[in-house]
A and B are shown apart, each in its own frame.
Chain A
Amino acid sequence: MGTLQVPPIPEKPGVLFPEIASAEDKFRACVQCGVCSGSCPMGKAMDFPPRKAVKMLLEGRFDEVVKSNTPWLCVSCHTCAARCPSQLQISDGLFPALRAAVMASGKPMDPDLQKALQNTYLYGNPMGEPPRKRADWTKTAGVPVPIMAQLRRPVDVLWIVECYPSYQPRGQAISRHLARILHALKIDFAILGPEERCLGDCEWLAGEHGLFETLIERNIETLRKYRFREIITTDPHAYRPLRNVYPSMGGSFVVKPVVQFLAERFGQVKNLLKSKLDAIVTYHDSCCLGRKTGHYEEPRMLLRALPGVKLVEMIQNRESSLCCGGGGSTVYLDRFIQERVKDRLADQRVEQAAATKAEILAVACPFEPSRFEDAVKITGHEGKLLVRDIIEMLAASMELA
């Protein structure tokens, strides 16, 4: 028997958990058209693809979906939610609730996911690194990166760095480049450093809304101590909750993804671009920056500004962009997914990039560089296709690398 509790997640900024509504009511608007299942990149591997999962819910057979492989195969690409004619929150409502139900049932969890969640609870990051080392990347940034607690004055821009860009070597490299760009643009900015905690988007998508709330409360408490005009972030996964959820929890801030921030200063940025890149570039729209929040043109604007760059589009782009496969909690579930799905999404996407004859696959989400670089090696395009974050490319052309 199944009554599913679904916290409603609005697309526009709004209230997150007003009250837990019975999902059957919410999903009764489903017309079983199948657009979701048809669009779902993991649908083939699921015991109950999205359309079927909703049907099971409405038939009171929710338990069967909870026990199936479905809950953990969703990569949170949000294609279903973006296309649903009834505007049902599938990937961003049904699936997190489904996962929460799995956790509540006491079924043993995938050990990688469990460790990531426990680490996030204890240390504010899924890797289990100590909070005090969260700003260690700044030591080799080459430019000063002020930390709010030490700066003790208001700033124009508070930069939320997030976990991967703080702790993971590939992400840290991108952070250093952005620090130099911000300096070159003479931006008055600072970071939270050791006080920053995971913004929790992936944890929430994993079904851990209790952990998500704990993180929000903690982050809002920290943010309230300081004064700043706006927040920018390099991580689209941080951008979404900051924009859509924090306001309803007492944390209303002006927040922008870094591509928007730089696009707003387009003239200034363009003036700093010196060296030619001379490459065919294709841009991968990440799910959180694209489908979820609609920032398609700003990254392209920045890429086209790079001297010598010829921008080409992959067969699936903008709203139809193909997820890298690391969304939501699945970035911690690689092993689980690989055991069940032969064709990795990242590999498919890299093939699409290679098909455009592009030399550089440009990305704007911290999960992507390592995932796509691995995929480049696996698909045999090593040496032919480079993966670069937009920030890295801008910094290279500004000769700040």
Chain B
Amino acid sequence: MNIVVLTKQVPDLVEGLEIDPSGKALDVASLRYILSESDDHALEQALLIKEKVGGRVEVFALNQGEARESLIMALAKGADRAVLVDAGLDSPLANHAAAQIFATLLRGGPFDLILTGVRAIDDLDGSVGGLVAGLLDLPYLGLIRKVEIGGDGKTAIAEKEYPGSYAAELEVRLPAVLGIQSAEQPPRYVPISRLRQVMKTATVEEVSVSPPSQQLLGVARLFKPEEGAGAVMIPGDAKEAARQIASLLFERRLLR
């Protein structure tokens, strides 16, 4: 079973986000990047499948942010191959451009399954998984929380989430692209000593591709929601807040 995992780096929200003076992009200097959370789940799901049915896990990432370290982490977790793709551009790529690059690299295979996070926090123009599936004419299922490979290795059974906590069990013919919401197990921990060991010995393949035809989207402007503009803030400590909220509920006849 050949599994490809597509990953990307996204700004780390813990560090805060600022919009640059142009108003059309984030202020890169203040950004710190980490692996997109659902891509981490996609990697975990790929490793779980490999542990169950055997095979190879190959992880791809566009050269941006801490992509190299994320790839080394993937190798430390058990991935077989890590590929850093350099498109010669500084600014982050829109999903369409990223998908084009991945599709070009993957066209012709061989792979049985492509896993990627179903969504990333910076998704503006669709999701990489669905776009790659569209370009390669593969089936695509999103919001997946469980994957079982069929006995013959030619199909997969995936559990797809629906609102209201419903889910559907779907059978999909391979090769296919799955957009992972959460792996069957939380992403595994790699002891730092192992990570440091792998850093010294592992190889991350580097591939250069020409910049894609479709460039960054025409974002007219970025803006932050007005802070707390929605809410009337109740001042004071917890005791005061409790009193005020109780009065409010009483006024609105919500107390019985």
Interface residues of chain A, those whose CB is within 8 Å of chain B, are 100, 103-104, 106, 108-109, 111, 114, 117-118, 121-123, 128-130, 132, 207-211, 213-214
Contact = CB atoms under 8 A, between A and B. Distances in A.
B166 interface: no
B196 interface: yes
B186 A121 contact: no
Nearest to B191: A103
A128 B188 contact: no
A114 B191 CA distance: 10
26 contacts: A100-B191, A100-B193, A103-B189, A103-B191, A104-B191, A104-B194, A108-B186, A109-B189, A114-B189, A118-B189, A121-B192, A122-B14, A122-B34, A123-B14, A129-B14, A130-B14, A130-B15, A132-B15, A208-B193, A209-B193, A210-B191, A210-B196, A211-B191, A211-B193, A213-B196, A214-B192
Contacts of A106: 188
Given A108-B188, A210-B191, A214-B196, 16 more contacts: A103-B191, A104-B194, A108-B186, A114-B189, A117-B189, A121-B192, A122-B14, A122-B34, A130-B15, A130-B16, A207-B191, A208-B192, A208-B193, A210-B194, A213-B196, A214-B192
B74 to A, nearest CB: 15
B88 to A, nearest CB: 28
Interface of B: 12, 14-16, 34, 185-186, 188-189, 191-196
The 4 closest A-B pairs by CB, nearest first: A210-B193, A210-B192, A211-B192, A103-B191
Contacts of B12: 122
Contacts of B185: 108
Nearest to B66: A122
Contacts of A214: 192, 196
Contact of A210 (B14, B186, B195): B195
B157 to A, nearest CB: 23
B175 to A, nearest CB: 28
A111 B16 contact: no
Contacts of B34: 122
Contact of A114 (B15, B186, B194, B196): B186
B2 to A, nearest CB: 23
Nearest to A104: B191
Contacts of B14: 122-123, 128-130
A394 B34 CA distance: 44
Contacts of A100: 191, 193
Pick from A100, A129, A211 the residue with the most CB of B within 10 Å: A211
Contacts of A128: 14
Nearest to A211: B192
B208 to A, nearest CB: 29
A379 to B, nearest CB: 23
B144 to A, nearest CB: 20
Contacts of B192: 121, 208, 210-211, 213-214
Contacts of B196: 210, 213-214
A3 B159 CA distance: 42
A382 to B, nearest CB: 16
